[in-house]
Chain A
Amino acid sequence: MAKILHKEKLSADVYLMRVHAPLIVEERKAGQFIILQTDEEYGERIPLTIADASEEDDSITLIFQVVGKTTTELSRFNVGDDLPVLVGPLGLPTHIKNFGKVVCVGGGIGVAPLHPIAHALKAAGNEVTTIIGARNKELIILEKEMETIADKLIICTDDGSYGRKALVTEPLEELCKDEATKPDMVIAIGPPIMMKFCSLTTKPYNVFTQVSLNTIMVDGTGMCGGCRVNVGDEVKFVCVEGPEFDGHLVDFDNMMARLSSYKGIEEEAAHKCYVDKEFEAKVEETK
């Protein structure tokens, strides 16, 4: 049982919760995630990255977007309620060292898991440029938090309602092109399609790019293999060997297909990632 200490609505369908989890606070490192259920009997197990942790009140911060049954249920939990199932920290921590110049790219809700990583990279002595992207101003989260960490913060929105009217790949490419700003490492966290195109953007410039994958999981301990992805010639389990991998080696198309495993045929036709289609169309446009 993990008590909810704080709840906040960050945007139309994005929530922040601080949850009492002393053991997780003690062990967790940037890049790791938890699995939760909103009901012990019948709930689904979903992974969420730990956005932050505080030793003051022994809490971890979770930020989630309401996209399905479990996140809808979760959004109905209030301060004082207990989460029936919370387990973690899971996965391997981000490899933090002084790379030199790093660019942290966060798309939509992906800014939440990116935040502790950017923080740790900064603390390790890196020069940190952060690019945050979202569909519109309303969906930009953690701007202030990122601003205090980053040496440079670039905000992009698809509709131009805030910051640059651009996809995150645009400023990323500009940084890669210019020898003076060319990053030594890029870490991109966001929708799979964004991570795919960030990886495609940096590849020609040979910039090491890490992505954090959020696949379907059940146990989170390597037992079920539901989270497996193709990374280069290997099959990796995201839950125990990830969640971060070399973006240039990840088979994003297979990963995205696997993410939609349980979408019904009709639903799939109607829904099939309007976000993805939009994104792809826009990438085409900007070329």
Chain B
Amino acid sequence: MSHLTQAEISEQVKIIFDDIFNRTEPLKKKEQLKIPPQMMPAQDENIRRHNLDEVAVGYSVEQARVEAMRCIQCAKPSCIADCPVEINIPGFILSIAENDFQNAIDIIKETSLLPSICGRVCPQETQCQISCATGLFNKDVDKAVAIGRLERFVADWEREQGTIVPPEVKPETGKKVAIVGSGPAGLVVAADVRREGHEVTVFEAFHKLGGVMRYGIPEFRLPNSIIDQEVSTLEKMGVKFQKNYVVGRTRKLLDLMKKDNFDSIFIGTGAGLPMFMGIEGENLVGVFSANEYLTRANLMKAYDEEHSDTPFYHSKNVAVLGGGNVAMDSARMAVRLGAENVYVVYRRTEKEMPARVEEVAHAKEEGIQFLFLQNAKSIKGNEKGRVTGMECLRYELGEPDDSGRRRPVVIEGSEFMLELDTVIVAIGNGSNPLVSQTTPELVVNKWGNLIVDEKMKTSVDGVYAGGDIVLGAATVILAMGEGRKAAAAINEFLINSN
């Protein structure tokens, strides 16, 4: 990926912009398809290694309108079908091209409630952008219309205008809905259920709202101010938030109905159960779950050493195990917390990495070293029980496995040592068992995920669930998609119940 400065990008786009929008004849489709994709301007890597500010700074108006012109307004747009919440993508993009940003955001909000978040963290390259005609024409999914960047552009535009109007709320119905967890699924359900006039209370275990968007995804990818904005819109709609409240402990789940008279409950407690490798040395001092590492830095603000009481581990040489977005976030956070060498150790190749291409590219720019086809065998420590290194094994790719990816096979005798003081385990999360363990009435599968029917209803009447607690660790947008489905079912349930 070639890399241009922000100034270079804005110079280039000006020429294209003038060419496109000063014509008398409209562009032909073929010409549209040949408009160069607009790069996302980003903070310089040498600067951003030392701050937590957002890396991707967002499109300018010119860039957004030029990028929007790359959409050829397909008659049968596959992007809508590929979006978990079926946003009218060509519709909002046309409005951007026509310089009507208000209309663009209004179209998005017909189906999506948190566009400034989705525009930033959705994996568009595997969803809406995967079958984009522009991308197919250019034979590269990375050259598809940058739907996510455009979504973010209009959402940010609206926020900067200061004109966000909270969705209309119908007259009070007197029905009460409890939402467990204030992550992406919970917030979406809160909005959709509140719109129908039901009283909504969101319960959150932490002292800050947003769930994984707050404790997990770092500021440099999703600024807290964006989450605050979305929460404040919900508050204006009359949604109540009860922080520092662990459902299952502070109150048993079903007591919310029995004692507190909630008519329905939505469980969106997420995938907060860190997996470990199960290898020797994993409990040494200096080995962290990605959840702990990121929560200290993000939610507890440990990066702000001057003010925060929460310490972080001062590292020189860090290995992150795993190849997903959480691994990228952890590695990039380690750089920002002052580590000198940060390795991502992944047992397959770059091609199989589940992380978003953009995150991997950003990580590389920031100096993170990728050790592909390698994996940890054991972690070594000193007499004080602190990490000193990691014994690794090399792998080669064998036959494809169930996931269709070629299975990595150990090369016997390939052991080697990596000198380290810190290991961050980012190999995934299971479902947080707290609610299911304290609510025997709920039926779970062998992975601990709540079992729901096609309307997201659990085994208990009136109790619905969605997001990672049902899916296992997935994405923000899938959680939102499930939330919308659950909210519709809850609204239907409340109309029919008396």
List A residues at the B interface (Cβ < 8 Å): 23-24, 27, 37-45, 69-70, 73, 84-90, 218-226, 228-230, 235, 240, 251, 253-254, 257-258, 260-262, 268
Contact = CB atoms under 8 A, between A and B. Distances in A.
A87 B276 contact: no
Contact of B313 (A40, A70, A230, A262): A262
B289 interface: yes
Contacts of B289: 224-226
Contacts of B301: 41-42
Interface of B: 205-208, 215, 244-246, 249-252, 272-274, 276, 282-286, 288-289, 291-292, 295-296, 300-301, 304, 307-311, 313, 384-386, 432-434, 437
A73 B285 CA distance: 27
A90 B249 contact: yes
A240 B283 contact: no
A42 to B, nearest CB: 5
Contacts of B246: 87-88, 90, 220-221
Contacts of A228: 283
Contacts of B286: 261
Contacts, number: 123
B292 to A, nearest CB: 4
B280 to A, nearest CB: 11
A216 to B, nearest CB: 9
Given A42-B304, A42-B307, A235-B276, A23 B250 contact: yes
A226 B291 CA distance: 9
Top 7 closest A-B pairs, CB basis?
Answer: A257-B385, A223-B272, A224-B292, A44-B309, A262-B311, A225-B289, A87-B244
Contacts of A87: 205, 207, 244-246, 250
Contacts of B273: 222-223
Contacts of A38: 309
A94 B274 CA distance: 25
Given A88-B249, A222-B432, A45 B310 contact: yes
B244 A219 contact: no
A257 B384 contact: yes
A226 B252 CA distance: 25
B282 A253 contact: no
B249 A223 contact: no
Residue picked from B207, B313, B433, most chain A C-beta under 10 Å: B207
A223 B283 contact: no
Contacts of A221: 205, 246, 249, 272, 432, 434
Contact of A219 (B206, B284, B386, B433): B206
A68 to B, nearest CB: 9
Given A44-B300, A257-B385, A224 B433 contact: no
A261 B284 CA distance: 9
